[in-house]
Amino acid sequence: MHTLARRIIGAVPVIIGISFLIFLLMHIAPGDPVSLLLGDNATPEDIARTRNEWGLDRPLMVQYWEFLSRAVRGDFGRSLKFNEPVMKLVWERLPATLELAFSSLFVAILIAVPLGVYSAIRHNSLLDHAGMSVALVGVSLPNFWLGIMLIYFLGGQLNLLPVAGRIEYGVEVRSITRLYLVDSLITGNFMAFWSALKHLLMPAVTLGSALAAIVTRISRSSVLEVMRQDYVTTARAKGLSETAVIWRHILRNALITIVTILGLQLGALLSGSVVTETVFSYPGIGDLLIQSISARDYKLTQVLILMFAVTYFVVNLLIDLLYSVIDPRIRL
Amino acid sequence: MLSVRYLKLWVGGAILLLLFVCGVGAPFLAPHDPQAQTLEDRLRPPRWADNGSRAYFLGTDNLGRDMLSRIIYGSRISLMVGTATVLFAGFVGCTLGALAGYFGKTTDEIVSKISEIFLAFPFLLIAIAIMAFLGQGLLNLIMALMLSRWVQYCRVVRGEVLSLKERDFVTAAKALGGKDFYVLFRHVVPNTFASVTVIATFGMAIVIITEASLSFLGLGVPAHIATWGSMLSEGRSYINRAPWLTIFPGIAIFITVFGINLLGDGLRDIFDPKLRRQR
């Protein structure tokens, strides 16, 4: 646990660096946010007063210090567009994004790991080549285009799935975790579950497709690598069944690489959610980020970007912890 | 397997060449001015569909602009942004990676810390953040993408230089009186080019998709310039009435990225020593 503590302490300067970078970006940006927000009719006095109210007339480092000290207390100020506390907006939208990200992850794992593993085991077979070709197509498909095409075919032409939102209008879910799928299951509200699932399906497939393609390729190469190891030959030589060799020896060792890639790709999922949520008008923090950028709500934009970055960083830290569970030789 | 390997290279190379030809020769290849609006011909379907016109092979958009010409001109932005980003990011990343790997100590620590901060952002998010604050524009876009991609080159080159600097040819070059910078950039760095070429190829595919995503979100180049991403974004509102507005730009992005990925796969197969031994 000593190394774990060191990793967490080591994360602090990186997170401070990230926040400073975002803060700096905001201040080197052309155009004064106050003038932009108040519009052309604002007098210089109005602008000066608002700048003073927001503390924008103070030295950069003072402003940054104040931002940091308030951030530590969880106070990120009020959104200029929505006129509500930034954190309230974030907490309202975050469950939707998490539900989308984890569903996409689930879709990707469900397709990619069996396909990748099977391709490796049947190396150079027709299925292997077909699987790898599909993976190449998946990596090359822009996911927002896939989303639009799904909307057109499944939503528009076949009218099978809803094309926007998170749940049908009028369907209520009792809020517990604010993850609609989980809450509707807990409360036994299957109509709400079905509605939420239908709304989630296309966004999750859209967001998960590129990840599925990457994970298929990584799973295949990782399993191929492990299959060449001496201990696999030994396991076979001592008479273990092929299923036991695959499950106990090959998969367990190949999982390390797969989990690493999944962890690294979770960041891509989070940022990809910005595009997917825009395509499906899905009310998550990605959609909120684009709204805040369009409205030049720099306070909200700054916090949302910081949140994405910190989440990505924390996920990677958790992935490191997961290593020691998968491979007991790795001690943190 | 050898032929398949070269097939990937040829097909990928041919697609990339097509992109270059379209981008460079756009004024000669495009049948219409991509900005010219013919309102009486608005939302005209492709030539082969009912009510299609011979004048507009891929149909027209909501302002009566020719889709084929806009797609051809759109390749210019993808090409320009892709090439410029790969070159700038490659230059910055390789230089910093080489310096960090070769000189180690403080240089390495500083470069590694900066890389760590950039690695803490998913690259699409870095690009979104920079474009959000700097605003639309081609130069801003290239800078945003460059800042989000340099770290990939830096990490790989640093790792390779760390291993290469211990090799005999480097010791020999130093023994012959070669100065550090000379040895690094004349002998060590050229040996990393195989890996850099592979990353650059895959990087170009990623950059083209990212550029399209940013343009789709309204964070790319200004709206009046035709790009595949902005065409998709504009066409989305007409998806049920005029699906060709979204289908064709999407196919253009897909074929381009697919071709570049194929080329990258082919190059990796050739440069990868493990695969070379298997041949």
pLDDT digits (tens, 9 = 90+) for A279-305: 999 999 999 998 888 877 878 888 888
Say if CB A155 and CB A202 are below 8 A apart.
yes
- The mean pLDDT of A102-120, rounded to a whole number, is 90
Which of B117, B216, B218 comes nearest A17 by C-beta?
A: B117
pLDDT-based confidence at B277, cuts 50/70/90? very low
| Closest Cα in chain A to B236 | A148
pLDDT at B232: 93
Q: Is the pLDDT of residue A130 over 80?
A: yes
Q: Per-residue pLDDT tens for B234-272?
A: 999 899 899 999 999 999 999 999 999 999 888 887 876
The number of angstroms, rounded, from the C-alpha of A17 to the middle of its chain's C-alpha atoms is 21
| Closest Cα in chain A to B211 | A142
pLDDT at A277: 94
> Is residue B182 helix, strand or coil?
helix
For residue A12, the chain B residues in CB contact (below 8 A) are: none
Say if CB B236 and CB A148 are below 8 A apart.
yes
How many C-beta neighbours within 10 Å does residue B58 have?
Answer: 25
Q: Per-residue pLDDT tens for A184-193?
A: 999 989 999 9
- The mean pLDDT of A247-266, rounded to a whole number, is 81
- Taking the C-alpha atoms of residue A282 and residue A163, their distance in angstroms, rounded to an integer, is 9
- Identify which has the larger pLDDT, B219 or A331: B219
Q: Is the pLDDT of residue A167 over 80?
A: yes
pLDDT at B11: 92
For residue A289, the chain B residues in CB contact (below 8 A) are: 128
| Closest Cα in chain A to B112 | A14
The amino acid at A274: V
| Closest Cα in chain A to B232 | A145
> Is residue A279 helix, strand or coil?
helix
For residue A298, the chain B residues in CB contact (below 8 A) are: 133
Q: Is the pLDDT of residue B1 over 60?
A: no
- The mean pLDDT of A197-207, rounded to a whole number, is 94
> Is residue A173 helix, strand or coil?
coil
Residue B6 vs residues A119, A134, B11, B13, B270: alpha-carbon distances, Å: 22, 19, 9, 10, 9
Q: Are the beta carbons of A305 and B122 separated by less than 8 Å?
A: no
Chain B segment 94-133 residues within 8 A of A by beta carbon are: 113, 116-117, 120-125, 128-130, 132-133
- The mean pLDDT of A58-74, rounded to a whole number, is 85
- The mean pLDDT of B165-189, rounded to a whole number, is 89
Which of B120, B219, B261 comes nearest A309 by C-beta?
A: B120
Say if CB B245 and CB B266 are below 8 A apart.
no
| First-last CA distance in chain A | 6
- The mean pLDDT of B21-50, rounded to a whole number, is 91
What percent of chain B stands above pLDDT 70?
A: 95
- Provide ipTM, 2 decimals: 0.87
Q: Are the beta carbons of A275 and B239 separated by less than 8 Å?
A: no
pLDDT at B279: 40
Say if CB A202 and CB A147 are below 8 A apart.
yes
| Closest Cα in chain A to B263 | A136
Cβ contacts of A153 within 8 Å, gap of 6 or more: none
pLDDT at A328: 67
How many C-beta neighbours within 10 Å does residue B34 have?
Answer: 20
Q: Tell whether B245 is within 8 A of chain A (Cβ).
A: no
pLDDT-based confidence at A199, cuts 50/70/90? very high
Q: Is the pLDDT of residue A320 over 80?
A: no
Q: Per-residue pLDDT tens for B61-93?
A: 999 999 999 999 999 999 999 999 999 999 999
pLDDT at A76: 85
- Identify which has the larger pLDDT, A318 or B94: B94
The residue written with tokens 């605003």 in the block is: B135
> Is residue B44 helix, strand or coil?
coil
The C-alpha of A33 sits at a distance from chain B's nearest C-alpha, in angstroms, of: 10
Q: Is the pLDDT of residue B32 over 70?
A: yes
